[in-house]
Structure 1
Amino acid sequence: MSQTSSQDSFNTALCDFLSRATTPFHAVDAIVKRLDAAGFSALRDDSSWSLEAGGKYYLTRNDSAIVAFSLGRDSSRDSGMRMVGAHTDSPCLMVKPQPEKLRHGYFQLGVEVYGGALLNPWFDRDLSLAGRVSYHGKDGLLKTALIDFRRAIATIPSLAIHLDREVNQKRSINPQTDILPILTQLPGEEALDFRRLIAEQLRAEHPEIDVAEVLDYELSFYDTQVAALLGLEGEFIASARLDNLLSCYTGLEALLQADGTQSTLLVCNDHEEVGSLSTSGAQGPLLRSVLKRIAGDESAYQALIERSMMISADNAHGIHPNYADRHDDNHGPLLNAGPVIKINANQRYATNSETAGLFRLLAKQEAVPVQAFVVRSDMACGSTIGPITAGGTGIRTLDIGVPTFAMHSIRELAGSKDAFDLARVLRRFYDFPGPLSAG
């Protein structure tokens, strides 16, 4: 298969994954299905593990984070683990616990903004709803299930320009009052029972279960427009949740294509967009607990940490042609010009010269170009799971990402070549036979 046809196949599958992974729960569910099909075995926190050289395993946490790893034929204690990290969550609008509102005959739901969302693009979109529901069945036991309406059930209409003449000069959005989605019109004065609506959706999607009562939920709205290639030559990928499901997918593809010689690991954490401090976030114990159980004892764990390396993959800011002055003159990454090494002197990114040097070496071996991103010295810098992982575990870490436009919008844009190239470099990293440090 030619590289062009391989890239086309990769992007087709990527777009399908992005369209299906509408929440972190659905992203992990989709990843698990791929891992199961590839022969990985599920592990549980509350059970003993019997790990074997050449074995392939995964562990989920909170249904929204996952660690998948393969124990290579070479001892992980001797050669370390090649790790890739990403995150499953994206900024969105989450439904409040008591959300029902009926105003002027329009049934609406109260929402809370999750993460640093760009709010303007949420107006006038065809929205659906998905997430995890906790319920008890007729047997009285607490259970959970995923739901996804997978059709447009809501919208947030803009206010007409005739009623806001200055909207194009200045527009502020009140997240409490301005972004409540409209779901339907009701003739009376009583709002719908939202939990009853959720119970009906549960029964429709899971006819095998008996739902006595919906107890709680974690549900978020999303844009029903599916991921797609666009541009005169198909140069771009447009989708919701590119940040950071694109990195989850590239890491997964690289893991599945690794040759099995080295010990490899992929961690996809939740809650990066809100600080990572949770049981399933990078500040939680998930990765450390898995590595300690792989190592077996404290001495072996310390040796494993010393010989391992993490590539934290999270999208980077491409230079926007309409706003080029927002970038440092020499560090404006272009779409379709290769993955980006992210550098910050104040350790908002975990990259150092050694980890960056290894990535450049790997990219050179794959004939993949590499770019660099440094934020303007007079602007604040975002961060990733990279410094959190490095600081919490002591693992040498590199921050990289695919250049992207409209980050944190309801629909983001990336180059159709970059994700494929990143997957190639990550696979090369997973198969790298040499030591992961220059020492």
Structure 2
Amino acid sequence: MDLLEKVVALCKRRGFVFPGSEIYGGLANSYDYGPLGVELKNNVKKLWWDKFVHGRDDILGLDGSVILSPRVWEASGHVAAFTDPLVECKSCHKRFREDFLENAKECPECKGELTLPKMFNGMFKTNIGATENKESVAYLRPETAQAIFINFKNVLDSRHPKLPFGIAQIGKAFRNEITAGNFIHRMLEFEQMEIEYFISPKSDWEPIFDDWLGEMKSFLQEMGVDLSKVKVREHADKERSHYSKKTVDIEYEFPFGTKEVYGLAYRTDFDLKKHSEVSGTDLVYHNVETGDKFTPHVIEPSFGVDRSLLVCLLEAYKEDGQRVYLSFPPKIAPYKVAVFPLLANKPELLKGARAIYETLKSQMVVAWDDRGNIGKRYLSQDEIGTPFCITFDFQSLEDRMVTVRDRNTTKQERVAIDRLPEYLQNELK
């Protein structure tokens, strides 16, 4: 098995990621996050929010609706321009995005002849209300950004931020993907962490753009990513989105090729001006010190949550002889610590271990495991990326110390029970 196959198998076996609708034969490009996957996902989102919202003075948060007025998408250009070229095999009738076939002239599945490309809109269309007609059409959002733009005035009027400032959002987006993805890299339903960073049109935007590029790389490093596997690729003119003056992809060397993880775009004033024009609402910034009124320009750092998780899993996957472990940085590990009694059938050991578990549980996310022998418990926690395992044994009854085992090195250390919280806080930094 290659690395991706090993990670996919581990994710299913240990409860990180499950195939979507599996008992009904599955649904292409659809996955569900299991008990450990949702913990990992929440930790990645918290790391991002702490870094870019709580850790800065110039970013405010927002949580916009998934379904917006269809006029939003008409104004933004998505109804007309959010399209991809689609080809169909004349033999097996499977459909593919032409831009993903890399100039192939035949079907990748059956070698059949392909049709000429037709443009296909990638937005999911739905209807609001009891009747389905042109007036009831709505869309599931294909990006989170537009909710930020249409709330620009609300944020200005309620919080009065000074330029430059950003509005951040984490939320679901939906795209009608035809081409099969690689695990959670490309899905019908995915989650984005996006910032719209508003600047004066007179600002030198390029240094700000470069600063955000550095911040995005820094975030990857904080998740344990080796930056030697990260590439930055600028979009050619014909590849750039309709709203962008400059776009770069931050790419990662996946087992299936070097592909996009994050994107950074200079959207100029396209979105705010379009929404001002179509809605009739003035989306301008008023500089009270100079009296100037103008439409800000926007730099957009966009982070994929699911792609972040895939990169984290691939980077963390390690094999050490017969042992497999996930070397997550403690900040994103689903469990920080696991607590065991040496033997599950000894009440005195159960009681001692349980007391430690209850104490630590109020301070961090802790796993409890009393199944099987101690060796298997260690291996199980290694596979889910738990940084430390604590074992309460017979000696603990005498000296009030426990064995603490390190996931990465497997080294063990005796630590006094009353020092455990302090010890772990230092080790988990």
TM-score of Structure 1 vs Structure 2, range by shorter chain: under 0.3
Q: Which has the larger radius of gyration?
A: 2
By relative contact order (CA 8 Å, sep 6+), the higher-ranking structure is 1
Structure with more helix by fraction:
2
TM norm structure 2: 0.25
The TM-score normalised by the length of structure 1 is 0.25
